[in-house]
């Protein structure tokens, strides 16, 4: 190959890299400075509760858009993430540049104490309830569903509400003995938050919980474990399951059924923020903006199968499509201080005590 041809190929490669790394349209004029600084940082460290497999397409898209910036992705459960991050911040040791947590309450508490204020150029494209003080952002729109084993639960038995679920189980205690599963709210920060949100939305929550637990309730800290147990028939029904994980499993597993409660369907939005001690703050800004962007959200919705918080992506796996499906039953959990109420130590301990007394756990 001639020297001239080599130079031409190098020049074309440089142009392609430059195009991939250019500031998106309609972003601030000085956004290129963030991109240039991020390239010097060379990587971004993410602490997340989103499964690595689910996050893989968004990571791939980000690294393709910003060559030279690698993603160091750490997948943890919600309690592990919270405890690890707190410990690292206290010791000023290396930690995550970005937190991305499904446990909205502990995620917001971390943001309140440790986040860097940053107004994303994508903030105006999000629902107002999903943005907290230009610091923490809701990034997804995920209904919480019932799952059931199609081989062992007849179609006309599938509960249509939380009250239906409680009635079904209480009426057949032998059949459902140790066959109903949900989160262990002491081991799972996500499970604790969802229990509190159920209580806020259901005036008879503890009555229903008592009936659900009457046959013996199996609790887990992992969504994957619950899906596996219901799929195998070891458990018959699970509740407060994140829809994206259930849908991904159901596509490959004909024995797994999904039901949306019609009385109310909680909607979770994974909270993300940039650490005020981020070692790679500019790369962190690029990651957050990409995650919230139309391109990033389209990947979440159509490749990772996680429902988009926007309403302008391809297909129906977004706010508009979910609203069309479930309408007024949807109860999005807002990213605001209401999430923090039951994290106060005495209130949390009292709630755990009441939950244990009700469930016998």
**333, 139 in Cβ contact below 8 A?**
no
Question: At 17, is the pLDDT very low, low, confident or very high (cuts 50, 70, 90)?
Answer: very low
Residue 4 has pLDDT above 50, yes or no: no
- Of 18-27, 54-63, 327-336, where does mean pLDDT reach its minimum? 18-27
Q: What are phi and psi of 258, to 5 degrees?
A: -125, 135
Identical fold between 3-140+270-317 and 142-267+339-359: yes
* pLDDT (tens digit per residue) in 79-133: 899 999 999 999 988 899 999 999 999 999 999 999 999 999 999 999 999 999 9
* pLDDT (tens digit per residue) in 85-99: 999 999 988 899 999
Closest by CA to 61, choosing from 287, 318, 305, 319, is 287
Question: At 21, is the pLDDT very low, low, confident or very high (cuts 50, 70, 90)?
Answer: low
Strands 180-183 and 237-242: parallel
Provide the pLDDT for residue 25: 77
Percent of the chain with pLDDT strictly greater than 70: 94
> 142-267+339-359, superfamily in CATH?
Periplasmic binding protein-like II (3.40.190.10)
User: What is the pLDDT of the chain when averaged over all its residues?
Assistant: 92
Query: Domain coordinates of the chain in residue numbers?
Result: 3-140+270-317, 142-267+339-359
- How far apart, in whole angstroms, are the C-alpha atoms of residue 317 and residue 171? 36
- How far apart, in whole angstroms, are the C-alpha atoms of residue 49 and residue 60? 18
Closest by CA to 284, choosing from 5, 51, 66, 76, is 66
- How far apart, in whole angstroms, are the C-alpha atoms of residue 320 and residue 264? 17
- How far apart, in whole angstroms, are the C-alpha atoms of residue 225 and residue 87? 28
Beta bridge partners of 220: 183
Residue 186 has pLDDT above 60, yes or no: yes
Provide the pLDDT for residue 20: 54
- How far apart, in whole angstroms, are the C-alpha atoms of residue 9 and residue 124? 40
Looking at domain 3-140+270-317, does it have CATH number 3.40.190.10? yes
Percent of the chain with pLDDT strictly greater than 90: 88
3-state secondary structure 67-127: CCCEEEEEECCHHHHHHHHHHHHHHCCCCCCEEEECCHHHHHHHHHHHECCCCCCCHHHCC
Provide the pLDDT for residue 12: 44
């Amino acid at each position: 190959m001639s020297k001239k041809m080599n130079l031409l190929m190098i020049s074309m490669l440089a142009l392609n890299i430059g195009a991939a790394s250019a500031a998106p349209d309609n972003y601030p004029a000085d956004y290129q400075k963030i991109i240039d600084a991020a390239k010097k940082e060379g990587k971004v460290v993410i602490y997340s509760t989103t499964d690595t497999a689910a996050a893989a397409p968004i990571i791939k898209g980000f690294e393709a858009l910003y060559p030279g910036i690698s993603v160091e992705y750490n997948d943890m459960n919600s309690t592990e993430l919270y405890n690890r991050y707190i410990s690292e911040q206290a010791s000023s040791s290396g930690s995550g540049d970005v937190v991305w947590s499904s446990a909205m309450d502990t995620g917001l508490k971390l943001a309140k104490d440790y986040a860097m204020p940053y107004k994303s150029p994508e903030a105006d494209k999000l629902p107002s309830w999903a943005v907290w003080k230009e610091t923490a952002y809701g990034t997804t729109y995920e209904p919480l569903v019932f799952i059931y084993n199609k081989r062992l639960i007849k179609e006309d038995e599938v509960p249509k509400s939380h009250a239906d679920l409680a009635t079904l189980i209480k009426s057949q205690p032998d059949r459902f003995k140790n066959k109903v599963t949900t989160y262990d709210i002491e081991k799972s920060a996500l499970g604790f938050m969802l229990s509190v949100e159920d209580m806020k939305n259901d005036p008879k929550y503890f009555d229903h919980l008592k009936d659900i637990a009457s046959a013996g309730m199996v609790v887990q800290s992992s969504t994957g474990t619950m899906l596996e147990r219901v799929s195998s028939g070891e458990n018959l029904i699970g509740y407060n399951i994140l829809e994206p994980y259930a849908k991904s499993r159901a596509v490959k597993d004909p024995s797994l059924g999904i039901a949306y409660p019609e009385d109310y369907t909680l909607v979770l939005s994974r909270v993300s923020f940039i650490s005020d001690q981020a070692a790679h703050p500019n790369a962190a800004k690029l990651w957050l903006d990409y995650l919230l962007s139309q391109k990033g959200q389209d990947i979440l919705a159509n490749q990772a199968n996680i429902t988009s918080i926007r309403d302008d992506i391809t297909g129906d796996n977004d706010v508009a499509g979910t609203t069309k499906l479930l309408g007024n039953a949807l109860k999005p959990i807002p990213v605001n201080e209401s999430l923090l109420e039951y994290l106060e130590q005495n209130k949390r301990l009292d709630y755990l005590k009441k939950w244990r007394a009700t469930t016998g756990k």
